[in-house]
Structure 1
């Protein structure tokens, strides 16, 4: 997503970091014994090191820009919100994700229960659990993502950052109000839903559309709006109901990918932008619709999705404007 040749030509110093993922990064007992969020703490340690040492590499510690994509974008946004890291950088670029997305932060009890379930499978579930687990090799903590349906039944990931009362001391909405102003670029691709369809190994058929309807219904609890009617009008042919046999496979696939993209990414991104604009912050929003089929990889199963061949100079625009 980033043109490193262009970055080098603009005398930009690029630093990439490593941090713990899965159970190693987000295992929690939801108490002081194992509070979780270790993956984010790793990022903060790296960011502090960059802040303190970038001058020795010819950089400017007052002009640090944090860039993240998908889960990395959600992490970058959390870094902008946490009191431990929000003053360590000046600008932020969020590609396909942010902390407002439903999957970016999970319920602490849900993650804790999932971690206890893993601990039981490894042979422990008592007060000495953490001591026992620390003696196991990292290979024992593999976390399955592909084929995991949790995201589509709950709208959240089983392993993710949590509001722990320390790193993230209060809900995202409150942290957003407290965080310092930063200039930001935020945006999406046209088919954000493709990635999540691949993660869930979904067929993108009418059954999946109905599952999407249920997710939207759950997010609209208390509303008098008929979710199925709204979805039929927005995503499918206006004259067809969601269970209609008149919808072709192509139309159903298109409807589901659009729906999934709205649920997982588009709504959260628009919410992020709205909140920043309300605060009077400078934010630039993009929608990338250029399609290169060679980039899809494991997503080829869900093709054909032909987007418009636009924004060929888009990445250069981002890099030239910011860097």
Structure 2
């Protein structure tokens, strides 16, 4: 059987369903069985944050299915764009992947010029989770509702700070969008990733931040910060006790995805092998529990679903970035 014929057969088998395709052989552009060596998942943020935790949650199940070492490598900087750009320039063979999210993989290009094209330079592999952002305040904040908090912030003008995980990241975009819709004037203090943001937040250096359940869980349990509301369009089963921000600030929503992308040009059988392996990892009971315990929604999407999500985000946020002149 020729390599071309074998690839065609694999495509036909893969169409039968992601679950079945986990066990199929895959071949790289050079014709070698995939995987035959170490796979690297690049996290474009510091160790310990949401993206890093999620990448490590799927790495071990991937190792077990693929029979090869899967390592997580942190390459932080510039709101996730340094590590993302690094992966964009790697060989399209499936051995170097990026654990991306809405920021460097979709919306950052709306606010500034990037050294890569989020759509043309990457192939979506699988969305791992969908995460509603959470509006959090220090635990000793007297404000118990978004409406009360917004009224107080308006009265303080530009004397109130918000923190983000870096210039140009999702938390930066969402906070500026909140400023516009809520009529507040929070000043931006960027940090180099989620861990330093949460530490500074708990220390009282900022009065508001948009965090994920993974970033904020330990600080909430320790009594350092408190959740006010969730940024999903309406109340969500993931955080059933929290109101939606949109109840007080009409139209506001901020839900991000986290998932895996590969350099554009990765062969179809390799992409399908990776996609089905990641989706199966997300469905494992211990991984699913890890995710839901941290207020994130397990996803495990197909390549096509993640691609449509990225296109939808760019369509949603493009007009908003332009209207409110959100640049970095």
TM-score normalised by structure 2 residue count: 0.32
Bigger RCO (CA 8 Å, 6+ sep): 2
Q: Where is the strand percentage greater, Structure 1 or Structure 2? A: 2
TM-score by length of 1: 0.32
